[in-house]
Amino acid sequence: MFEPVIGLEVHLALRTTSKLFCGCSAEGFGARPNENVCPVCLGLPGALPVVNERAVELALRFAVALGCEVPNTTYFHRKHYFYPDAPKNYQTSQGDVPIGRHGQVALPSGKRVGITRCHLEEDAGRLVHPAYADHSLVDLNRAGAPLVEMVTEPDIRSAEEAREFLAEIRAIAQALDVSDAAPEEGKMRADVNVSVRLPGEPFGTKVEVKNLNSFKSVAAALGFEAKRQAQLLEGGRRVVQETRGWNEGGQRTYSLRSKETAADYRYLRDPDIPAVAIPDERKRAVLAAMPELPQARLGRYLADGVRGTEAAQIAYDHAVARLFDATVAAYTGPAQNVANWLTGEVAGRVNALGVSAADTKLTPAALARLVELVDGGSLSATAAKDLVPDLLEGADPAELVASRGLGQVSDVAALEALVAKAVEANPELVERVRANPKAINALLGKVMAASQGKANPDLARRLLEERLGG
């Protein structure tokens, strides 16, 4: 049985306002084509690049978090290739001394994945092929935007491990504020290197699949390639070393070109860009300022008594984790209750809107108050769920309860009267309950309906049981 041997290359768009070597906006979102360009990112003769200090800082943070060795001096190189969306005819990247080398990431499963290197480089532009024209258009708004690229050792052995690794990297990048790491916005892209072998045998011939834009595509492309290569070998044929693309519609890879070797790029230290010094004190400062990373956060939630499923769901989403921490700080009950609401009703409503909880006006104080109202029995869970959309609009739960008369009825005398009425009006249901105690739910439904859903259901059930038992 063949096993896949997988290495990943991940590109993350750095969270800077300007590009890697000029002052042009790195965002580009919503801008007109070729609006954010200047002589530097257009590669005009004589234009001189200036290194974006913020980009270096973010890449340094990322390298340190991945446990990489960071050199005291790092350099930029020209990586030569011709492509119509790269106006300089080379990409400014990092060659022999990247900002980080020899790191390691431990996954929640305990699996360790070696990090070969991570380096800074600039993004390319974008080609547009309009249906109306017999020519292509180029938009260079993204050309020169800063990326950090991370390359792993061939340590991954399944599509599931690859997915787990990407989730870890995304959560780390978000926790560090290094990148939005949003694949759907093109801010996290992966290339995969995959070969197959019989366990214990040397590595087979590897194939690269480029430009995978979602975790799902990565998993699907890996599954397809592992099977394709195994079938070739089983049929007595061989795997050709090449670069392949991914056809999302057909869910298959296809041959793009035979693989270039590193030498083809003729890496050359960029004579226009000075070496970047990274003194030891700077590395120590980055380490000292390191925020809590997702696995530490997960451990903290578990120690706080949050169940594994909800704890992982929250810890691996930076925006949700921040909301959770602030809500728990404003809340008096067990953290699990907040976790239930955040991963349940709130997540459901937010997902339906296609946004993140951080994009709404939901405040930690409002969410804490809502959960407390339910905990204390003065608001039913059903009524509370109906309030979540208003909370996302910034409403205060206590005010909503007062203005809409939603308060849960926990008054014993008032509930006893409703219970008495329900028992009197439904003698046939009472008979059924005497034959089968489980039928009490039908009677409880009558009490709830009579209270317009406001009766405290636990209390109403108890009073009902007392009355029928007596």
Tell me which residues touch Zn ion (CB under 5 A).
Answer: 22, 24, 38, 40-41
Select 40 or 212, whichever has its Cβ closest to Zn ion.
40
- Taking the least distance from each CB to Zn ion, the nearer of 37 and 188 is 37
**How many CB atoms within 10 Å of residue 406?**
20
Least Å distance between CB 79 and Zn ion?
Answer: 19
Instruction: Judge whether 171 and 105 are in contact, CB under 8 Å.
Output: no
Neighbouring residues of 156: CB distance < 8 A, sequence distance ≥ 6: 5, 6, 7, 8, 113, 162, 165
CA 125 and chain centroid, separation: 25
Q: Pick the closer one to Zn ion by CB: 40 or 387.
A: 40
Residues 6+ apart with CB under 8 A from 95: 75, 77, 79, 267, 269
Nearer to Zn ion, 44 or 381 (CB): 44
Burial environment of residue 91 by CB neighbours within 10 A (0 to 12, 13 to 18, 19 or more)? buried
- In the bound complex, what is the minimum distance in angstroms from residue 170's beta carbon to Zn ion? 28
CA dihedral 266, 148, 125, 220 (to 10 degrees): 100
Nearer to Zn ion, 51 or 365 (CB): 51
CA distances from 102 to 97, 279, 280 (A): 12, 19, 17
Closer by beta carbon to Zn ion, 26 or else 190: 26
Closest CA to 338 of 308, 314, 318: 314
Specify the amino acid at residue 80.
Answer: H
Q: Which is nearer to Zn ion, 40 or 159 (CB)?
A: 40
Q: At its nearest, how many Å lie between Zn ion and the CB of residue 278?
A: 25
Q: How far is the CB of 41 from Zn ion (least distance, A)?
A: 3
From the CB of 39, what's the least distance to Zn ion, in Å? Answer: 7
Secondary structure class of 155 (helix, strand, coil):
coil
Q: Are 211 and 245 in contact (CB under 8 A)?
A: yes
As measured in angstroms, the least distance from the Cβ of 25 to Zn ion is 9
CB of 72 to Zn ion, least distance (A): 29
